[in-house]
Each structure stands twice: as structure tokens, then as C-alpha cells.
Amino acid sequence: MTNGTMRAWSVVTPGPVEEEGLRFVEKPVPEPADDELLVHVRACGVCRTDLHVAEGDLPVHRPGVTPGHEVVGVVAGVGAAVEGFTAGDRVGVAWLRRTDGSCAYCSRGAENLCPASRYTGWDADGGYAQYTTVPASFAHRLPAALDDVALAPLLCAGIIGYRALRRAALPPGGRLGLYGFGGSAHLCAQLALAEGATVHVLTRGSAAQRLALELGAASARDAYAMPPEPLDSAILFAPVGDLVPVALRALDRGGTLSVAGIHLSDTPPLHYETDLFYEKQMRSVTSNTRADGREFLALAARHGVRATTHTYPLTRADQALRDLKAGRFDGAAVLVNDLS
């Protein structure tokens, strides 16, 4: 259907991003399968999961994979079995790429737990490229009111933050603590505030703390500090296992900690009396469902949830990941295709 080559970033040798394991290479423009769309990438958000893939924290699923799963682009080609999409349609490509659709988990609406699930930028080449592909049934239709750069972080950071918020079982008007305040947390905070929560942010870095207060957080303190009041719910976005007991101790009786990351460093021992007693609970978050995506995008449009973004040209994706690792920006980084 499509011939020629394109430029793309490839995880050649997983390792520290400072050591050029991520390389800018030439690849064939992908050919969409019968049920897939070929997408011309316009923008792609930079997610911490991309960093985990590039550095080997997540084991390699596809040698030389192209990262990126917060993709906004336009349909450049359609597979033979695709209906409902035409060339020029704007679509979003997210982390969850494919499931079997028939297992017990898919059948009960928990497709995020499908053992056969596959992921963009890990099992298949993603959006750090001029083109990518996506199964048409997993492509997201996007609200027209937002531009490409504003939309990109919503497709993973936003959706995962939304699922983490729901997993945190925050009661109406409740007190929510957010540990870490990067791309996902700053979107989650806006939704929680719009729904009437009091939000306390616990994070490193003065820039992130300032952003939290600007967005309406009631307080912003160091990640290891106690919030000014007990929390009904907390979400751990930082991939730091040492913060698990810290967050649990900040919970009020009956509170819930939701752990949002796909990767977490080892947790220290938990002490039952101080960390878990009084019916506190801890929940993990695994990927998302397509329904999560549809619900979040609708809520984001309704409540005016907006990403604070910092743009990089596609040709500087390696620098964007280094800056993410070093915490050099607040909000979210977005790659903009500067190669057409």
C-alpha cells in the first residue's frame, strides 16, 4: 500500500538514555495489516514508560522497537478490512494496541488484563517516527477543539491518570494526595479538582510544586513530607517504591492507595500496625481499557483539562527523554514531527 522509508527512533541497546542506546535510524514505512490504519504522525507525547523501555526497565518485547504511544496523527492508509475511517481523519494511538477479545477478562470488560494484550511502542513500533500503524478498533477519535500538541499527553498520561483516580476510590468531595507531579498527575489533578476534590501534591522540585499550586492544589510539599490533613485516597505516580509506606501512612482510616506506574522500584517492608491497619488498602493499575479512553477524553473536553506542554522536534526525542529523566520540565513533553 505504501512504499519508501521513514526516519524513526529505535531502541538499539536498552540502557541509560545518556549513552545513545536510542538511535535515529531509517526504517521502511510500515504496511498496515487488513484491520489496521497507517497513521502519519503529527505529534507524540513523551511518557515515562518510553524511558523504561529505552533503558531496559521493561524487558524488550521487540528488538529495535520504536517507542511512543501518545500519538496524534492523520490516517494515511487503511487496511482492506477497515470500515469507518478514511484518509485524512485525525486519530489518536494509545498504549493498549490489541487484545484477543475473547478471554475471560475481555468478556467481563477488563480487556486491560487480557493475557494476550499487546502495546504500542513495546510490542509494535510506536510514534517516535514519521508513520506508525494501529488496529482500527483501537484508534481513538479525537475532539476537534484541541490541537495536536494539547491532545497527545491525554492519550496515555491522561487516560492512565483517569484509571488511577477511579482505582483510588476517592469519595465525593474527598481529600486526594498525588505523589509525583509529572505528565499524568497534573492532568489527574485537574479532573479531580473539577469533580470537587481537595488535592494535595507531594513531589520533588519547585517547578512541579508551583505548577500544582497554579492548577488549584490546596498544598504542594516534598514527596516525603506529610500532607496537611489525612487523605481519603492517594495515587503514587512516581516510580519510587520507598514512597509506598509514606503514602500509606498519610491515608486516613479506610483510605486507598492507587499505584499508577507500570514500573516501580522495590518497596521497603510494610509495618501492619502503622501502614495497613484500619482497613487501608493498596491497588495497582494495569494499562487501561478503550472505555477508559473514551470516558476520559469526554470528561477532559467537558471540564477543560489541559496539559502543560513542552515541545521538542521529533529529531530531538533523545534529549526529551534525558530531560524527562532529569526532571527538567513540569507537565509533559511532546514531540512534533518536523520531517513532514
Q: Which residues pair with 221 in a beta bridge?
A: 202
Judged against a pLDDT cut of 90, whether residue 6 lies above it is answered with: yes
Judged against a pLDDT cut of 50, whether residue 1 lies above it is answered with: no
pLDDT band at 3 (very low <50, low <70, confident <90, very high): low
Q: How many domains does the chain have?
A: 2
| Tens of pLDDT, residues 122-150 | 999 999 999 999 999 999 999 888 999 99
In the chain, what percentage of residues exceed pLDDT 70?
99
299 in a domain, yes or no?
no
**Residue 48: domain span:** 5-155+308-336
Q: Which residues pair with 51 in a beta bridge?
A: none
Average of pLDDT values for 19-31?
93
| Tens of pLDDT, residues 204-246 | 999 999 999 999 999 999 999 999 999 999 999 999 999 999 9
102 in a domain, yes or no?
yes
Beta strand pairing status for 198-202 and 219-221? parallel
All three cell numbers of 125, joined, read: 513500533
Same structural domain, 147 and 163: no
All three cell numbers of 8, joined, read: 524513526
Question: Which residues have a Cβ under 8 Å from the Cβ of 12 and sit 6 or more positions away?
Answer: 21, 22, 23, 25, 64
251 in a domain, yes or no?
yes
Same structural domain, 228 and 190: yes
Judged against a pLDDT cut of 60, whether residue 107 lies above it is answered with: yes
Average of pLDDT values for 36-49?
97
Amino acid at 160: I
Q: What's the CATH code of the domain at 257?
A: 3.40.50.720
Half-sphere exposure for 219 (CA within 13 Å, toward CB): 16
Same structural domain, 279 and 187: yes
Rounded CA-CA distance 170/255 in Å is 9
pLDDT of residue 50: 96
pLDDT of residue 2: 54
Same structural domain, 150 and 244: no
Distance from the Cα of residue 115 to its chain's centroid? 20
237 in a domain, yes or no?
yes
pLDDT of residue 340: 81
| Tens of pLDDT, residues 253-301 | 999 999 998 999 999 999 999 999 999 999 999 999 999 999 999 999 9
pTM value is 0.91
Rounded CA-CA distance 237/262 in Å is 10
Rounded CA-CA distance 47/121 in Å is 11
All three cell numbers of 334, joined, read: 511532546
Q: What's the CATH code of the domain at 150?
A: 3.90.180.10
311 Rama sector, left if φ>0, alpha if ψ -120 to 50, beta otherwise? beta
Same structural domain, 196 and 263: yes
Same structural domain, 211 and 246: yes
Average of pLDDT values for 302-327?
96
Is residue 169 packed enough to be buried (19+ CB in 10 Å), middle (13-18) or exposed (0-12)?
A: middle
Indicate the range of 65-69, 143-147, 155-159 predicted with least confidence. 143-147
Of how many residues is the chain composed?
A: 340
Same structural domain, 101 and 22: yes
Supply the mean pLDDT for the chain: 96
Same structural domain, 275 and 191: yes
